[in-house]
């Protein structure tokens, strides 16, 4: 296992950080990691972190369900019901921003559920997924060859590029974003969904907030830092949308982190509280979808 320490903030490049929180990897390794906050731009990130060659081990777990399709356990069952609703909403979103159905690249496509829905809706799809198990599942789900890395996709341009809870996992954050944008048509749409470290559930659960998900989540975006990141890549924010189910899902996992058992009533109450807070306080939902186009 080897770790790397970032000397410069991935967004603003400055080198002055303060320790923000110590978070334990409850899902897999039980190791603790430090989150730092940039003194200049407030960007929060996991530092030090396992390097790109070592991170794979932290994804090897039955509990890490975003890469599997098992239907055991109440959290997983809820996850699958919600997923079919949110998949439909995601397809509606891309159709709203790109009414002429064209080509879509889903970077970090997981098991391919979203891409499969896009294909059925008339989109020409491409997927990239580094995890081998998930990639095989996504190939079966979509009936298409799914690439293992971005380098395999060349000479193609896309109308829409999506990253659903993926950006926070990428070691080469700026390089990958630049590469992705080189594949986006001039008038194309970039859609990035990430957990929101300014949400009510994040503030409430603190080190138990499941969406810190260290060390798999390398970055902990907020609306402010995401706007800054997009601006750095010459992208203009078109709209920010909530992912309201995430408040309940993340609260459920966070309750489980607290005592190892979980508490369904608290989860529902805190999920509801988080969404109500966000409605009144500048859209700070548990997870947010950022839609951007070129300036
Ligand atoms: Zn910074």
Per residue in 129-141, pLDDT (tens digit) is 999 999 999 999 9
Q: What percent of the chain has pLDDT over 90?
A: 85
Token pair of 58 as six digits? 């932290």
Q: What is the pLDDT of residue 117?
A: 98
Q: What is the pLDDT of residue 60?
A: 82
Q: Tell me the average pLDDT across 150-169.
A: 95
149 CA to centre of ligand 1 in angstroms: 28
Q: Tell me the average pLDDT across 204-217.
A: 97
- Least confident stretch, 10-24, 200-214, 253-267, 269-283: 253-267
Q: Tell me the average pLDDT across 237-252.
A: 94
239 CA to centre of ligand 1 in angstroms: 23
Token pair of 13 as six digits? 């490049």
14 CA to centre of ligand 1 in angstroms: 6
Q: Is 86 helix (H, G, I), strand (E, B) or coil?
A: helix
67 CA to centre of ligand 1 in angstroms: 31
pLDDT, tens digit (0-9, with 9 covering 90-100), for 37-90: 999 999 999 999 999 999 989 988 755 545 455 556 776 777 788 889 999 999
Q: What is the pLDDT of residue 63?
A: 53
Q: What is the pLDDT of residue 70?
A: 52
> Strands 49-50 and 44-46, how do they pair?
unpaired
65 CA to centre of ligand 1 in angstroms: 32
- Residue 274 main-chain phi, psi, to 5 deg: -60, -45
Residue 252 pLDDT exceeds 80: yes
228 CA to centre of ligand 1 in angstroms: 9
Residue 32 pLDDT exceeds 80: yes
Residue 162 pLDDT exceeds 80: yes
45 CA to centre of ligand 1 in angstroms: 10
44 CA to centre of ligand 1 in angstroms: 8
220 CA to centre of ligand 1 in angstroms: 12
Q: Tell me the average pLDDT across 87-111.
A: 96
10 CA to centre of ligand 1 in angstroms: 7
- CA-CA distances (angstroms) from residue 231 to 141, 223, 293? 35, 12, 10
Sign of the four-CA dihedral 226, 61, 46, 285: positive
For residue 150, the tally of other CB atoms under 10 A from its CB is 18
Q: Which residues contact 211 (CB under 8 A, 6 or more apart)?
A: 195, 197, 201, 202, 217, 246, 250, 286, 287
Q: Which residues contact 198 (CB under 8 A, 6 or more apart)?
A: 222, 223, 224, 284
Residue 220 pLDDT exceeds 60: yes
199 CA to centre of ligand 1 in angstroms: 20
37 CA to centre of ligand 1 in angstroms: 8
12 CA to centre of ligand 1 in angstroms: 4
Residue 200 pLDDT exceeds 90: yes
Token pair of 78 as six digits? 């809820």
Give the separation between CA 33 and CA 214, rounded to whole angstroms: 7
Place of tokens 């974003």: 177
Mean pLDDT of the chain: 94
Q: Which residues surround ligand 1, an ion (CB under 5 A)?
A: 9, 11-12, 38, 40-41, 43
Burial 238-275 (b: 16+ CB within 10 A, else e): eebbbbbbbbbbbbbbbbbbeeeebbeeebeebbeebb
Token pair of 287 as six digits? 């997870």
Q: What is the pLDDT of residue 215?
A: 98
Give the separation between CA 112 and CA 215, rounded to whole angstroms: 24
Q: How confident is the model at residue 99 (pLDDT cuts 50, 70, 90)?
A: confident
Give the separation between CA 167 and CA 188, rounded to whole angstroms: 18
Residue 145 pLDDT exceeds 60: yes
Q: What is the pLDDT of residue 62?
A: 56
CA 122 to chain centre: 25
258 CA to centre of ligand 1 in angstroms: 30
Q: What is the pLDDT of residue 35?
A: 98
120 CA to centre of ligand 1 in angstroms: 41
Going by C-alpha positions, the residue among 261, 288, 240, 289 that lies closest to residue 74 is 261
227 CA to centre of ligand 1 in angstroms: 12
């Amino acid at each position: 296992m080897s770790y790397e320490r970032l000397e410069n903030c991935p967004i603003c490049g400055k080198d002055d950080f303060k320790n923000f929180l110590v978070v334990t990897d409850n899902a897999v390794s039980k190791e603790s990691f430090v989150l730092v906050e940039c003194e200049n731009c407030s960007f929060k990130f996991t530092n030090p972190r396992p390097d790109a060659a070592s991170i794979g081990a932290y994804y090897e777990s039955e509990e890490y369900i975003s890469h599997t399709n098992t239907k055991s356990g109440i959290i997983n069952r809820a996850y699958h019901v919600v997923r079919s609703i949110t998949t439909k909403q995601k397809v509606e979103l891309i159709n709203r921003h790109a009414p002429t159905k064209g080509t879509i690249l889903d970077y970090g496509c997981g098991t391919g559920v979203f891409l499969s829905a896009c294909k059925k809706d008339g989109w020409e799809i491409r997927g990239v997924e580094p995890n081998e198990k998930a990639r095989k599942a996504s190939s079966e789900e979509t009936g298409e060859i799914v690439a293992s890395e971005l380098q395999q996709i060349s000479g193609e341009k896309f109308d829409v590029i999506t990253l659903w809870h993926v950006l926070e996992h990428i070691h080469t954050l700026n390089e990958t974003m630049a590469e992705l944008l080189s594949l986006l048509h001039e008038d194309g749409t970039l859609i990035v969904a990430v957990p929101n470290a300014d949400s009510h559930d994040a503030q409430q659960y603190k080190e138990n907030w499941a969406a810190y998900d260290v060390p798999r989540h390398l970055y902990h975006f907020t609306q402010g830092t995401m706007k800054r990141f997009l601006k750095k890549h010459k992208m203009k924010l078109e709209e920010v949308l909530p992912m309201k189910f995430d408040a309940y899902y993340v609260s459920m996992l966070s309750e489980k982190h607290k005592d190892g058992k979980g508490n369904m009533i608290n989860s529902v109450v805190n999920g509801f509280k988080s969404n109500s807070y966000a409605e009144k306080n500048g859209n700070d939902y548990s997870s947010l979808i950022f839609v951007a186009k070129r300036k």
